[in-house]
Every structure is written in structure tokens, then in C-alpha cells.
Structure 1
Amino acid sequence: MGSFTSVSTLEGDGQFDAYVAQPQSTPRAAIIVIQEIFGVNEGIRRKCDNWAEQGYLAVAPDLFWRDTPHVELNADVAEDFQAAINHMQKLDQDRAIYDIEAAIKFARAQLGGDGKVGVVGYCLGGRLTFMAACRTDGDAFVGYYGVGIDNLLSEQHAIGKPVMLHIPTADGFVPPDVQKKMHEGLKDNRHVVLHDYKGLDHGFAAEMGVRRVEEAAQLADQRTADFFATHL
């Protein structure tokens, strides 16, 4: 359903690829899909295709492009997991936000210049989605099992659009003390809603692979779909 397309950087000094999935009819809005540490792999492309089937223009920018373009790794393969960690450690997250902003700008142009654009991200992408909620002009934001969000709470005053976070309570990368800081730090922010998934681990809503927990993934994805339907 989709294909890779070149997107210009905000500064106009370069281009990076993004997977773009088009709906069959005029898009109702656009959704930027932010990758895990495994790149714009088949799972992320499937998520884009699913959004396109629901009537959205879906765009997944390749955020590792400055170091290694077109990374595609499998979360279930130990060697790939270590390679993914290495790519994540090389990523300049502040520059990644500029690329997400460029993807938002690209998507709006595809919609005719004034359409609404949501952002959804997973793992590393969940963290970047929270950063984007603080730093970009997207219209709605959803983060799945974002890592290190407790270190970003000082930026939440800049959030002006709706944000939803999905938090598995047995997340091996987001321990209970971090989850507590997120709940306590965001409880008074009227723009943010948090959903806990008791006993589940990181990656439970992955599109494919052993991490997926079907019933919980469907619940979280339905909440996300309803959220975007309301705000986009």
C-alpha cells in the first residue's frame, strides 16, 4: 500500500526517506508514525498501512538516516537487538525532533496545507512523541511505552494539544519508580491522559513478533484510534 518518499529537512539542506501509506480516498487527516529502535521495519510499515486503511495519510520518517539510512531490524533476534541499541545511542534526539517536524510539515502539505496531523510513537518513538508534543505543532500525540519520559517532565508546560500515553506496568525499560514519577508529574496536566496495562511488558503492542499481547494491543490501538478520531 505504501512506498518510500523523500522528505526535505526543515533547513532545506538535505533529504531523508519516509514510508508513506496513502488511503484509497481523500485523507481525513495525517498520522506520523515514529519508529522503535529497530528502524522503519515491517512492523512500523504495517502500522502505517493500518492507518491508511482507516482513512489517514500515514508517514514514518527514517530517523536513523544521518548515521545509517534504512535500518530494518527484528526485535526477536538477539544480534538485531544489540545493533538497534547501538543505533539508538548514536541518535541525536533533538535533531530527530526537527525531522519529525519536517515530516509534520510534509504531511500537512500533502493534505493541502491546513489539515490536522497526529503523531504516534513506540518505545524510542514513544519518548520522541512526548518531546514532539512539547516542541512541535502537531495536533494530537500518542506514545506507547515511551522510555525516559520522567526526564522530560520539565518541558510539559509547553504541551498545548492532547496527549495520550500507554504504560505497561511490568515494562523492563520503564521501572515502577519511573512510572510513578510520570503519573505524579503529569496528573495535573489537563492535556495528558495515561493508561496503565497491568502486568504487561515493553512492546506489547508491536505489530508482529513474540512481544505482542493480542488483547491488550487491540485495546490500546482502539483507544488510540478513538483519540485520533476525536482530535484530528
Structure 2
Amino acid sequence: MNEIIDSSDTFTSGTVPIPGQGGDEIAAYLARPLAAEPRGGVVVLHHMPGYDEAHKEITRKFAAHGYLAIMPNLHFRDAPGADPDDAAAANRANGGVPDARLVGDVEAAAAYLRGMPNSNGKVGVIGYCSGGRQAFLAACTVDLDAAVDCYGAFVTAHSPDGFPIAVPPIVGLAPELRCPLLGLFGADDKFPAPGETAELSAVLTELGKEFEFHTYEGAGHAFFSTNRPAYRPEAAVSGWARVFDFFGRHLNTP
């Protein structure tokens, strides 16, 4: 039987409890490399459909690339122990994830990563769909080293009538942006539409914030999602390259 002799690219993963906002214990999915060398951490924020296998795979992808990674279950309080679809439905019925709760959960997840023995103390956040908006929110309210917004809607605009939940804009927080921001968007997306990302870009430019936005032609919402018809391979491959370059510059040990 062959044995693994080099742990530099091996990792372990599984569910752990963490103290979320207000001291509530919530579930989180942790993926961590086994090698002892110090490394940066990434908080992964899942999309509105929930804490699902696709986003656990994304969390493992960061560990395979050498990062400590954790995804808090943002819907855990709405339906503890429920499958992602039922928990997401319960969360929508409750009006979505409150912004204050999200901030507390990200703070807790970042503290968990920084407390790990092979952490270098640097932590970033990445979010998809609703998680993209939440990544921007966290970047303006939590001490982080980098943030990635993947097609997060309702940063500059309010959710429309008939949307499953009421989501207010948070562009007013832009002056408080605490870390470099990477934004990845689709030109065919409606939430956010290109005009909304252009508006946010103009605000951040006027404020002198460090950011870079990239919009992919022929891609719409959820173009990273390999398990959905919206998946666009060229945009996703390019997007992942930009994510790892960005986190490499801001989270790796000098």
C-alpha cells in the first residue's frame, strides 16, 4: 500500500461548531491543509440557496490551494440540522440573513481561522450571489485583509418588488471599506446589472479605495456554479485565476 509522504498538498475537512453572532453556536464547514507552515485564511459565504455541497467544494478548493478555509452556515439558526433547501426556505420566510448577524458570524469565522496554529493572521472573505453583497458588507465592517465579491446584488440598489426578500442597498458603507476588494461580474446579469457595478466602481474610485472589478461578456449570474446551467467555463477559469492571484498578493505570508 502506497503512503502519502508529502503533506504539503493534503488537507482535511468537516463540520465544526463556532460561536456566531451573539454567542450562538452555529455549524461551519472547515477545510484546512495539514502542513504546519503559516498560511492565510478565507471565509467563504454561500449563496442564497444555502450551505450546500457546491459551496463545500469551493471551501475544499481553497484548502487544496493552501489556505485555511471556513464556511459558516448562515441559515443554521433558521432550521438547525435541516437540509440546505429547507434551511434556505426557512431563512427566506424569516426575511433573509440580517446584516448585523452576518457581520457577527463573519467576525467569529475570521477569529476561528486566526486562532488556528498554522494561521499567519491574515484572513480574507469571498461570497457568491447574496454572499457577494455580504462580502462587501463584511469588508466595510470587519477587520479583514482582502475581500472578493462574486456578482453580489443590491449593494447600490434596493431589491425589486416581488423579490423573495427585501434587501436594502449598502453603498453608504463604502467610505468604511477596510481592505482591498476584487469584484467579478457577468455582463448579462440582472442582479447586479452592469450599471450597478459601474455605479459602485465610480463611488469607490471617488473615495480612493483599492479595488479592481472585472465583468465577463457572455456570462450572467452564477457563472462560477458548475452544477447549474448558468456555468460559463471561460469566465469561471479566468475568475478563479484572478481570485488566487488576488488572495496570493494579500493573504500570503511575506
| Fold-level similarity (TM above 0.5) | yes
Matched, 1:49 2:60: yes
Task: Identify the residue that residue 106 of structure 1 maps to in structure 2.
Answer: 112
Q: Deviations over 1:70-100 (max 9, x none)?
A: 5424xxxxxx8x9388268332122111111
- Which of 9, 30, 33 is equivalent to 2:20? 9
**Relative to structure 1, is the Cα distance of residues 201 and 113 closer, same or farther in structure 2, using a 3 angstrom cutoff?**
closer
Task: Identify the residue that residue 167 of structure 1 maps to in structure 2.
Answer: 185
Q: Which moved more, 1:205-214 or 1:102-111?
A: 205-214
**How much has 1:56 moved relative to structure 2?**
0.7
Which of 1 and 2 has greater Rg?
2
**Relative to structure 1, is the Cα distance of residues 186 and 110 closer, same or farther in structure 2, using a 3 angstrom cutoff?**
same
Matched, 1:183 2:221: no
Q: Which moved more, 1:152-161 or 1:63-72?
A: 63-72
4+ residue runs of structure 1 moved beyond 4 angstroms? Answer: 111-114
Q: Which runs of 5+ in 2 are unaligned?
A: 1-11, 157-168
State the alpha-carbon separation in 2 of the partners of residues 147 and 157 from structure 1: 19
Letter in 1 for 2:60: D
State the alpha-carbon separation in 1 of the partners of residues 92 and 171 from structure 2: 26
- Identity, % of aligned positions: 31
State the alpha-carbon separation in 2 of the partners of residues 108 and 87 from structure 1: 34
**Relative to structure 1, is the Cα distance of residues 168 and 87 closer, same or farther in structure 2, using a 3 angstrom cutoff?**
farther
Q: Verify the 8 A CA contact 1:32 1:60 in the aligned structure 2.
A: yes
Q: TM-score under structure 2 normalisation?
A: 0.81
Q: For 1:125, what is the secondary structure of its paired residue?
A: helix
Q: TM-score under structure 1 normalisation?
A: 0.88
State the alpha-carbon separation in 2 of the partners of residues 57 and 4 from structure 1: 14
**Relative to structure 1, is the Cα distance of residues 118 and 191 closer, same or farther in structure 2, using a 3 angstrom cutoff?**
same
Q: For 1:174, what is the secondary structure of its paired residue?
A: coil
How many residues align? The count is 224
Matched, 1:208 2:227: yes
Task: Identify the residue that residue 197 of structure 1 maps to in structure 2.
Answer: 216
Letter in 1 for 2:39: R
Q: Which runs of 5+ in 1 are unaligned?
A: 74-79
